[in-house]
């Protein structure tokens, strides 16, 4: 499947009538698993990208080159459309423009650009936001950076629902309206926690909505669909589960368990399917004269 078809598939999700849950993917094997299991979309999160590439927490240490290269590896391995968390675009609006170019070339179906200040200012522990004007500039730069009009650009805001968080819900609404006016294809929110907030956002914008948090009262697919929420994330449990499995396996081996006695290992059939062994054998026969 060409990159264009992957992007059209994501656009079809955004134009659809239901809310889907993407599979969290982070490398060629995980994306093939998600594809084989029937997920409509993969989500490549910034936090899991930092973990898998650097082994570091999500503190904006990963570079654009590292993120794009990992996306490129996944694009080669699978035709599953992937939405990429491009964080703050790795700098100012001009950096955002290049971020879009690199991720488009790497095969992303869509990407998000957010308005959180990264890295954080010295001596400040709470999340900070760039100004609304700079946020709008980043969205415009992202749109200008794409050469394939099918590539989905989502405006993501770090605004929250008030309290001790980064900003008020009123500012969240203001930024949503401004990013829509700038021309983004969808709006991504991580700070909405109540049905009333989702209803309010849905009422003031016409764009598809993506939620990064659907715990508690938002864990209702019917409600989300009724409010034009097209994609709802479920975190990055696959990478967490893989980490635990590797830890348990290495610990068992270190403790003296024999490899043949290990539990939870994939079958040869599953490994062969995920490595596309049958396809490799066909190519080996056709191009190298090897027997299938």
**DSSP letter, residue 130:** -
Task: Render 195-214 in DSSP notation, one character per residue.
Answer: HHHHHHHHHH--S-EEES--
The mean pLDDT value of the chain amounts to 95
Structure tokens at 9: 């598939």
- What Cα–Cα distance (Å) separates residue 279 from each residue in 75, 167, 266, 276, 286? 17, 52, 20, 5, 11
Check: CATH 3.20.20.60 for 3-237? yes
Q: What is the mean pLDDT of residues 154-175?
A: 78
pLDDT of 230 over the 90 cut: yes
The least confident of 157-171, 229-243, 253-267 is 157-171
Task: Locate the domains of the chain by residue range.
Answer: 3-237, 242-288
Cα separation, 135 vs 43, in Å, equals 23
Global pTM value: 0.95
Give the model's pLDDT for residue 125.
82
pLDDT range class, residue 168, cuts 50, 70, 90: confident
pLDDT of 166 over the 50 cut: no
**161 in helix, strand or coil?**
coil
Give the model's pLDDT for residue 140.
98
């Amino acid at each position: 499947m060409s990159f264009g078809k992957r992007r059209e598939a994501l656009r079809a999700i955004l134009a659809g009538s239901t809310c889907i849950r993407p599979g969290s993917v982070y490398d060629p094997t995980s994306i093939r698993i998600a594809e084989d299991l029937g997920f409509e979309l993969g989500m490549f999160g910034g936090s899991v990208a930092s973990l898998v590439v650097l082994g570091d927490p999500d503190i904006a240490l990963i570079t654009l080159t590292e993120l794009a290269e990992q996306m490129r590896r996944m694009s080669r391995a699978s035709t599953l459309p992937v939405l990429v968390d491009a964080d703050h675009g790795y700098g100012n609006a001009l950096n955002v423009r290049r971020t879009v170019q690199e991720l488009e070339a790497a095969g992303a179906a869509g990407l998000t650009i957010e308005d959180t200040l990264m890295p954080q200012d010295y001596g400040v522990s709470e999340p900070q936001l760039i100004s609304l004007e700079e946020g709008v500039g980043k969205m415009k730069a992202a749109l200008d950076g794409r050469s394939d009009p099918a590539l989905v650009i989502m405006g993501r805001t770090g605004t929250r629902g008030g309290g001790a968080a980064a900003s008020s819900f009123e500012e969240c609404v203001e930024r949503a309206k401004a990013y829509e006016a700038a021309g983004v294809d969808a709006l991504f929110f991580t700070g909405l926690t109540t049905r009333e907030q989702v209803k309010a956002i849905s009422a003031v914008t016409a764009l598809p909505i993506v939620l990064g948090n659907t715990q508690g009262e938002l864990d209702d697919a019917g409600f989300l669909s009724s409010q034009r929420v097209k994609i709802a994330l479920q975190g990055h449990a696959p990478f967490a589960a893989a980490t635990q499995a590797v830890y348990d396996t290495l610990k068992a081996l270190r403790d003296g368990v024999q490899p043949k006695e290990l539990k939870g290992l994939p079958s040869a059939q599953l490994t062969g399917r995920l490595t596309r062994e049958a396809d490799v054998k066909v190519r080996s026969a056709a191009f190298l004269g090897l027997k299938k």
